[in-house]
């Protein structure tokens, strides 16, 4: 069997890794925060080294070349034709999403499909906006939207929807019909759809594809703001370059003005990494997807053998949403930390019956993590 470059474990100790520093004093494998244990594509590293041949790292803007690269990527990969003027460069999807709350009035409310990536739950409160939660429903082995519940949850103060697509932590790929209906309902009630699509290029399903919300919005496209980044796709979480696609010129101008002097600028090298990723990173990405599919199969097979645990295959992302409700322990998160595996507690996403596991790591590390979980469960 040919070995994969993704099989190579990398030591991240003493690099300031948030993921590893959390358990620096413990024998715990960190499988929580969504960054990968894989070396970034060599073409991206080469581009960064080349940029460092110029000795000045001053304030930097997104270049016309980067804008062309991103618009070509959206057209070729997601069949979405945008105007480069729609792009707003941001130092991260979460900061960009947070800044969108500045577009609201004090009494306005933000809608969220739950459970969900926890910053989407926390941002409204941090910016003094109230939140309206709309629970996703589990039917036909899939988490989806109950549109009757969604529409009945809307009140006159609802002015924004935080949509996570593909969904984190469940890994659902919403269909084009679902997304079109979301946009139509929101447009009817004057609700702006904020579509967080940071995981859009991490599709693991063999037949499904990601649908960008803007491509199905039709005449309502101006009612959608899309947030994207190469950070998850190419393991560039620490290289803070993201972007918003905002078709409505007036909304884009107002948002840009509110971001000025409040959000930090995108770092020079982050622009370099982003452009290199979208230009040269796709061969690496294709190998990544195949490796993640293999990891998912390994994880799913082992979880199915463990009493008290169950999971469905995510359509996208490298995050497994594991049901631990049948496990006879008081706190599944603490139980697994004690066993030497650090997961993300489901409570922070809005459902304490689950734990989230990041399987973007070498097969050896994944099997070691699963083995520790198995040993702890067998000892109950």
In this structure, what DSSP letter does residue 39 have? P
Kindly state the percentage of the chain with pLDDT values over 70: 99
**DSSP secondary structure code for residue 16 in this structure:** T
Helix (H, G, I), strand (E, B) or coil at 110: strand
Cβ atoms 250, 238 nearer than 8 A = no
Residue 300: how many CB atoms within 10 A of its CB? 17
Instruction: Determine which helix (DSSP H) or strand (DSSP E) holds 183, and give its type and residue range.
Output: helix 176-188
Q: Give the pLDDT of residue 374.
A: 98
Residues 301-355 have pLDDT tens digits of 999 999 999 999 999 999 999 999 999 999 999 999 999 999 999 999 999 999 9
> Which residues lie below 8 Å from residue 1, measured CB to CB, with a gap of 6+?
none
The three-class DSSP label of residue 162 is strand
**Residue 3 has what pLDDT?**
80
Full set of structural domains in the chain with CATH: 5-41+282-378 (3.90.1150.10), 58-280 (3.40.640.10)
Closest CA to 213 of 196, 230, 231, 232: 196
pLDDT at 176: 98
Q: Is 375 helix (H, G, I), strand (E, B) or coil?
A: helix
Question: Which whole-number Å values give the CA distances from 10 to 1, 14, 43, 224, in the listed order?
Answer: 21, 12, 18, 40
Strand partners, 355: 322, 345
- Asked if residue 192 lies in contact with residue 223, where contact means CB atoms within 8 angstroms, the answer is yes
Predicted pLDDT at 292: 98
Q: CB within 8 A of 155, min separation 6: which ones?
A: 109, 132
The two three-digit tokens of residue 45, written as one number: 């590293």
Predicted TM-score of the model (pTM):
0.97
Where is 109: in which H helix or E strand? Answer: strand 109-114
pLDDT score, position 2: 64
Strand order in the sheet with 354-358: 310-311, 319-323, 354-358, 344-345
The segments of the chain whose pLDDT lies below 70 read 1-2
- Among 267, 259, 201, smallest CA distance to 228 is for 201
The per-residue pLDDT for range 108-155, each reduced to its tens digit, is: 999 999 999 999 999 999 999 999 999 999 999 999 999 999 999 999
């Amino acid at each position: 069997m040919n070995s994969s470059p993704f099989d190579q474990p990398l030591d991240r100790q003493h690099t300031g890794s948030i993921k590893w520093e959390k358990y620096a004093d413990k024998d715990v494998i960190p499988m929580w925060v969504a960054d990968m244990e894989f070396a970034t594509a060599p073409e991206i590293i080469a581009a960064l080294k080349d940029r460092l041949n110029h000795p000045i790292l001053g304030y930097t803007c997104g270049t016309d070349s980067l804008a062309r690269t991103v618009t070509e990527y959206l057209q070729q990969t997601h069949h979405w034709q945008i105007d480069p003027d729609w792009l707003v460069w941001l130092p991260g999807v979460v900061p960009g999403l947070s800044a969108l709350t500045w577009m609201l009035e004090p009494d306005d409310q933000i809608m969220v499909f739950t459970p969900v990536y926890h910053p989407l739950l926390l941002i409204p409160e941090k910016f003094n906006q109230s939140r309206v939660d709309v629970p996703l429903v589990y039917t036909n082995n899939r988490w989806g939207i109950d549109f009757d519940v969604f529409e009945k949850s809307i009140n006159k103060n609802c002015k924004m929807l935080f949509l996570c697509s593909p969904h984190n932590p469940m890994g659902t790929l919403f269909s084009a019909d679902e997304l079109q209906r979301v946009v139509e309902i929101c447009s009817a009630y004057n609700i702006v759809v904020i579509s967080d699509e940071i995981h859009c290029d991490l599709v693991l399903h063999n037949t499904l594809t990601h649908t960008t919300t803007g491509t199905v919005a039709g005449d309502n496209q101006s009612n959608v703001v899309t947030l994207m980044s190469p950070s998850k796709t190419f393991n560039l979480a620490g290289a803070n370059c993201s972007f918003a696609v905002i078709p409505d010129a007036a909304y884009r101008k107002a948002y840009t003005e509110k971001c000025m002097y409040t959000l930090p600028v995108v770092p020079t090298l982050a622009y370099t990494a982003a452009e290199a990723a979208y230009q040269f990173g796709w061969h690496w990405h294709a190998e990544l997807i195949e490796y993640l599919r293999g990891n998912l199969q390994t994880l799913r097979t082992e979880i199915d053998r463990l009493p008290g645990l169950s999971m469905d295959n995510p359509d996208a992302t490298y995050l497994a949403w594991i049901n631990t409700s049948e496990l006879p322990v008081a706190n599944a998160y603490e139980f697994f930390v004690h066993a030497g595996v650090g997961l993300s507690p489901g409570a922070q996403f809005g459902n304490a019956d689950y734990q989230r596991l990041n399987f973007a790591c070498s097969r050896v590390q994944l099997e070691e993590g699963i083995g520790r979980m198995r040993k702890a469960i067998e000892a109950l």
